[in-house]
Chain A
Amino acid sequence: MVTESNIIEVQNLTAAYGDFVILDRISFDVHHGEIFVVLGGSGCGKSTLMKHLIGLVPPASGTILLDGQDITTAVGTEREDLIKKFGVMYQSGALFGSLTLEENVMLALEEFTHLPADARRMIARMKLFLVGLERFTRHYPSEVSGGMQKRAAIARAMALDPEVLFLDEPSAGLDPVTSAGLDELILNLNKNLGVTFVIVSHELASIYAVADRVIMLDSKSKGILAEGPPGDLRDKATDPAVHAFFHRESQEAAG
């Protein structure tokens, strides 16, 4: 359920590697319970933005508030508590190859809770069931397909019942049917568990299927080119680059 209160507030964020500025003073909010998609062409800073949002890379300037707390300055237990509020699915899945899918999910539970092994295993089984992998709990990541690895990565990201799930290119490298299955899973988790999603993607079909709201980043202006529901951007956008993106036109055609 989408509420107007913000779970993430980004204010005047500048992302840069050395002198090379990638995003210049961008601001946006993510509401509680919504599916928020960051989109844009290759190299426009989508993944960089996500790395900043999850606190992996400190911003050059600006603030990132997660549930009212600044992730860029949080340290110690404050940071640990903040980290528990979100889960991340990396583009490649990034599952630990030496652990089974079940052990991958159980890892965070083992570290951050005092639950007995039985309970941890049961929770891991339920999380993997949610992503349709209940029969593969004892498999190693190398023994399952790429799509399954991504779903297992979502299950791992959900281990501590985070309020926000960050997904980096969930559809990349998946066939349309598997990709649609993943979209369904995202909608399901959003509807049933109220999880807020921040998804980095440039798969149009996927964006139309799941997104409540999108922002489109631009590599030229290093800022946000458009913001709103994907249907509105497709039908009403006047900016040629936004129009080209949503109508799959080449840059030359867009002028």
Chain B
Amino acid sequence: MNFDPQTRRLVLGESLDAGVVAEAWSRLGTMSGAWKVEAASLIKVDGAGLAFLWVLGREEHVRISGLRPEILALLKPFASLPAHPAEEPDRRDSFFEQIGRVSWGIFQDVRDQIAFIGEFSVMALRCVAHPGLVRWRDMWVTAQKAGVDALVVAGMVSFLTGMIMAFQAAVPLRQFGVDIFVVNLVALALLRELGPIMTAVVLAGRSGSAFAAEIGTMTVNEEISALRTMGLDPMRFLVVPRVLAGFIVTPILTVYASFLGVAGGFLVMMTQGFPFAALWNQLVSAVGVTDLMTGFIKSFVFGILVAGVGCLRGLQTGHGATAVGESTTRAVVSAIFLIVVVDAVFAVIFYVLKW
């Protein structure tokens, strides 16, 4: 290609392909005034070459000569292509529109959550009255996936947390000669707070996300619509078994994880030279029934919360693969946020009850 701004002549070579056009495209902007384009040698063009020729031909001050009939034939289908794309409506929102949209989104989400709780409660009561309505098989399969399969990860997280806490607390407490109280610290923290919370977070990451992805994919594939049109309530078919599974396995996992966490603390203390009997006595004197109950009661609520939010986010899924990803993320984020909020509410309740 020979580009001569002095004489305002552009002589095209044999080939006008993506490689040539990549270099030549920037020159289009500099071609002001009357230009002559000689295309007699041009034999081979591809999509990029056609785009280049079309853009040249669109300019009134450019005259193209010598184009071969084969290339003219390739350009012919584009004769009616409008010179410039139609003005697209501006899709960006103004600042106030953005605030409005976000507020409306939050309002709708709260409304969806309330509706979901209502619908679920009605269905749950019906299932209590007629246990045959529950799809028990699905429930047990989900319970296995969410519970049994989570034993290793939930146990490890809790065990290591117990060990870390004991290590961290042992040093400062020893300075005051009260390192036996490490047991109080580890046991109370794990049984009352960390055990239930960490188990719920693990469950949100493992199972809440899986529920959202599974139900979300079903929503995208119109399987949920199919269920509804067959007269089958997704609430009964999908949500009840999962929430029930969460309700059953979370307390068990919590007790198991809390126990392992305390065991981790014990292990560290025993390596520091404390006999098991001393640790056990300290544990028995430090932990009361109310301490055990606080963690246990919370874990039921966390189980319902994590499973319920996972299912809700799945049912709220929009269109396409990205929507499933968004639902999964929202399921985990909402679950963790709600776990902390509910835990704070429990803290106030237990404070008032003096538990």
Contacts and interface: CB of A to CB of B under 8 A. Distances in A.
Q: Do A and B make up one complex?
A: yes
Interface of A: 97-98, 109, 113-116, 118-119, 122-123, 125-127, 129-130, 134-135, 137-138, 141-142, 158-161, 188, 192-193
B321 A115 contact: no
Contact of B76 (A98, A119, A192): A192
A98 B326 CA distance: 12
A13 B43 CA distance: 38
B50 A119 contact: no
A116 B319 contact: no
Nearest to A137: B85
- Interface of B (DSSP majority class): helix
Contact of A161 (B47, B73, B86, B320): B47
Interface residues of B, number: 29
A123 B22 contact: no
Contacts of A142: 319-320
B270 interface: no
8 contacts: A113-B48, A115-B18, A116-B26, A126-B54, A126-B81, A141-B320, A188-B77, A193-B74
A65 to B, nearest CB: 23
Interface string B2-27: 00000000000000001101100110
A122 B321 contact: no
Given A126-B50, A192-B76, 17 more contacts: A97-B323, A113-B22, A114-B18, A114-B22, A119-B25, A119-B51, A122-B51, A122-B54, A122-B55, A123-B48, A123-B51, A126-B54, A134-B82, A161-B46, A161-B47, A192-B74, A192-B77
A247 to B, nearest CB: 35
B48 A119 contact: yes
Q: Which of B19, B47, B74, B76 has the most CB of A within 10 A?
A: B47
B18 A97 contact: no
B77 A130 contact: yes
Contacts of A159: 47
Contacts of B85: 125, 134, 137
Interface string B42-68: 000011101110110000000000000
Contacts of A119: 21-22, 25, 48, 51-52
